Structure 1
């Protein structure tokens, strides 16, 4: 199977270099020069590997990362000239796998991509069965008792994030930042609302939840025994 790689980057020289090296390795490369076209690339192509510039002229790279993560468990690389520790940490929190720091060695990028692809091939986390739920990270679907659940994008993002951090206490503030972002116009109550609607859809008894449990004074925990 040919690996699909998406590059969302506004610097043409960077794209040309990456595209040259990636195509030499027989990867199928698709590119976008801005955030809007990047959204279309993610929706239409859903690449196995996404190389994403954090500093796009029209869109937050972190927001694009969340969009990708809501639909795919593929490999996500951030490419940036910045070395801000806070941004690096946040990038991993929203689902990034690795960073490419400019200036970079294209040959090293290829090695990193191949290493991550090998890890992904050996992962058993792509499709997760939990009781009567099946959570498919490949096609971003969730089924309950064999029936496909109609989850909103935010509900999926919230569920997938909690499952990836299973059995961990997640602060309400952390969930809000990870799913809605620091610059969102809503408030922490939106987390509570989405937790409530998610429970109605995935739990057998929303008033006595088995999976999404409240940790009073802190936030929530997705419990997998």
Structure 2
């Protein structure tokens, strides 16, 4: 598991430097950009968990960066801007921001707001599994691969999150069947294998040689954290 990654997109370098100092002291990983175009590139490249975003950037409007982030992520989006008109703030929330902080602000207040959003969204290192190019959020039950959301059927999702909540622990097909389908189900054990197979096709780079959901021959299946 990794520390929470924060991307700052802001054209005032002194402010970036101050925020980096405070955020890194709190244990966050910080990446920064002074332009919208570079910010968009970093969203794709680094898959940040939190985006701190100014609106007035030298090359493009910050709202465009926010839309890009929302297309890619369910992470925390916080605007930091000197623009405080009601129309602008409302537009920010319509795009999907989690908070809107008006400049000038106290970095201590920003840290408090970030932590509040982390608690609210469940964005904590203990609640997010990052395995290679796969991110599993145990709180909001979402899965992303290469920063793209993975759509899972109900039983596939239940299987994955049961294994994710018990990483590296081996479960037999019978145990998974009882846990996911229940004793009264009309399905059979082959259903477990079928759903694991379709799940692997969605989350593995090579389903025939799975890195994440591994088979322990003679024993069962596990979600491997060694990636």
TM-score range, shorter chain: 0.5 to 0.7
Runs of 4+ aligned residues of structure 1 deviating over 6 Å after TM superposition are: none
Structure-1 residue corresponding to 2:140: 125
Q: Alignment RMSD, CA only? A: 2.0
The separation in 2 between residues aligned to 1:26 and 1:124, in whole angstroms, is 21
Structure-1 residue corresponding to 2:31: 30
2:77 partner SS:
strand
Structure-2 residue corresponding to 1:83: 84
The 8 Å contact of residues 73 and 126 in structure 1, kept in 2 or not, is answered as no
1:51 partner SS:
strand
The separation in 1 between residues aligned to 2:42 and 2:97, in whole angstroms, is 18
Structure-2 residue corresponding to 1:131: none
1:70 partner SS:
helix
The 8 Å contact of residues 79 and 101 in structure 2, kept in 1 or not, is answered as yes
The separation in 1 between residues aligned to 2:151 and 2:22, in whole angstroms, is 39
The 8 Å contact of residues 73 and 137 in structure 1, kept in 2 or not, is answered as no
The 8 Å contact of residues 78 and 96 in structure 1, kept in 2 or not, is answered as yes
Query: TM-score, normalization: structure 2?
Result: 0.57
Query: TM-score, normalization: structure 1?
Result: 0.57
Structure-2 residue corresponding to 1:143: 151
The total of aligned residue pairs comes to 138
Q: Which has the larger radius of gyration?
A: 2
The separation in 2 between residues aligned to 1:126 and 1:8, in whole angstroms, is 28
Any gaps of 5 or more consecutive residues in structure 2? Answer: 124-137, 155-227
Cα offset, 1:140, TM superposition: 3.1
The 8 Å contact of residues 122 and 140 in structure 2, kept in 1 or not, is answered as no
Q: 1:46 to 1:112 in 2, by over 3 A?
A: same
The separation in 1 between residues aligned to 2:148 and 2:94, in whole angstroms, is 19
The separation in 2 between residues aligned to 1:87 and 1:137, in whole angstroms, is 30
